[in-house]
Amino acid sequence: MESKKVLIVEDQKSISDIIKFNLNKEGFEVDTAYDGQTGLEKALSGKPDLILLDVMLPVMDGFHVCKKIRETSTVPIIMLTAKEEEVDKVLGLELGADDYITKPFGMRELIARIKANIRRIDLMSNLQDVPSNVQEFGDLTVDLNRYEVRKNGKPLELTLREFELLKYLAERENKVFSREQLLEEVWGYEYYGDIRTVDVTVRRLREKLEDDSSDPKYIMTKRGIGYYFRRP
């Protein structure tokens, strides 16, 4: 099997070297960048399977890099954030990162996250052999098996995590799920995040799916409980 390529964008060479050493041991091909601009260029030209992206970077910060990558690519991005910077996590997710991990982190946890995110991409790459399962929801057409969403016939660019959340809710119409349930079911047991991750992903989904994200007709909020999918 072809080895997967991980791009590490981290300005502290000592941290980058340790991560690279451990990923090489696990069979990953690794490229590195020590500033945001170089990281962005390598992300766009090198076609990595996953990007580890530090927030605090010289030349261009990680948020800016993430935003730029998301303009053209849905490659999985795991943000590396400082433990005390809660705002970093939320902002990173709002800009389209798939996951985050706080420093200091254990190498086993990091590798588990990387493998989990790459597994999702492998699933997607095998979808041409999967029979389609197209569902119509108002002006949305969703192929639940092939991870394709169209609105009024026009394809929407969803990250894998956004699609998985949409799929989970759409397959269980009108059933309300708490944030904790969604974290467990959609993000999986390997996810160590907090419930705001769900809120941010819902907000991003609404911005893409809804005509007016402040007055949603698909992904609804049940105040004090959680979220559910409604067919308009």
| Per-residue pLDDT tens over the stretch 123-155 | 766 666 677 788 899 899 998 887 889 999 899
Q: Kindly report the average pLDDT of the chain as a whole number.
A: 88
Q: Given 91, 125, 159, which residue is the final one in a domain?
A: 125
Describe the chain by its helix, strand, coil percentages, rounded to 5: 40, 20, 35
Q: How far is residue 151 from each of residues 136, 141, 158, measured CA to CA in Å?
A: 10, 6, 12
pLDDT digits (tens, 9 = 90+) for 174-208: 999 999 899 888 887 555 567 788 898 999 999 99
Q: For the domain that residue 103 is a member of, what is the CATH number? A: 3.40.50.2300
Pair 136, 161 in one domain: yes
Query: What pLDDT sits at residue 94?
Result: 82
Query: What pLDDT sits at residue 86?
Result: 62
Q: For the domain that residue 163 is a member of, what is the CATH number? A: 1.10.10.10
Torsion sign over Cα 207, 211, 214, 218? negative
Strand, coil or helix: 173: coil
What is the residue range of 178's domain?
129-229
Pair 159, 218 in one domain: yes
pLDDT digits (tens, 9 = 90+) for 64-82: 999 999 998 889 999 998 7
- The Cα–Cα gap between 200 and 197 comes to 5
Q: Where are the beta strands (DSSP E) in the chain?
A: 5-9, 29-33, 50-54, 77-82, 99-103, 134-137, 140-143, 148-151, 154-155, 177-178, 219-222, 226-229
Pair 203, 107 in one domain: no
What mean pLDDT do residues 8-35 have?
A: 96
| Radius of gyration (C-alpha) of the chain in whole angstroms | 18
Give the angle subtended at the CA of 31 by the CAs of 158 and 73, to the nearest 5°.
Answer: 15
Give the angle subtended at the CA of 194 by the CAs of 193 and 197, to the nearest 5°.
Answer: 85
